[in-house]
Amino acid sequence: MNSLLLLMSLSTAHGFGFNDNILETNVINLAVVVGVVVFFVGKNLTAILENRQETILNNLREADQRAAEAQEKFNQAKLQLEIAEQKAQQIREEGLLKATIEKNNCLNQYEQDLARLEEYKQETLNFYQQKVFNQLYVSLVAKALQKVKQKFEKRLDDQFHITVNNFFIARFTEYNP
């Protein structure tokens, strides 16, 4: 309506006639078209815009709700991660403790085995030393007996027999049980 008045006022200012200025004519036509569209389509457009606004608000509410749910899930995942990290740390500590205990057990076992081996070594050395002493003793006794036998064989005269017999008789007479 206002555009129609504007058109008339422009016409009267220059006189009534044909307006050959295309820009002014286009602006006036555009204004008239927009006015008609707003007048006839305005209520429908307002309803459509209100509908669209409600849809956008619902989408924003849903997005906020999804964001809140996602934040809650994120917080839960973060909490589960912290719990998992604590369990992992606990498992690491238990593993280190078990490894230390196992290491100490192995060292103790090693020391015990080493002590047993040392004891076995000493027993073996004592055994072989005793064996060598026994062999040496047997050898010495055998040599001594062999020398005695040789002496007996060389001196088997009557005088020697009398001397030996007298010696043993003297010893037996001293022996009084």
Residue-range domain boundaries for the chain: 23-169
pLDDT of residue 81: 95
Total-model pTM:
0.40
CB proximity list for 25: less than 8 A, separation 6 or greater: 19
Q: What residues contact 4, with CB distance under 8 A and at least 6 apart?
A: 32
pLDDT at 176: 64
pLDDT for position 11? 47
Q: Which residues of the chain have pLDDT under 70?
A: 1-19, 152, 155-156, 175-177
Q: Give me the pLDDT at residue 16, please.
A: 56
pLDDT at 6: 44
Question: Which two three-digit tokens encode residue 155?
Answer: 């001196």
The CA distance from 42 to 35, in Å, is 9
pLDDT tens, position by position, 111-126: 999 999 999 999 999 9
pLDDT tens by residue, 140-159: 888 888 888 887 677 667 77
Provide the pLDDT for residue 12: 47
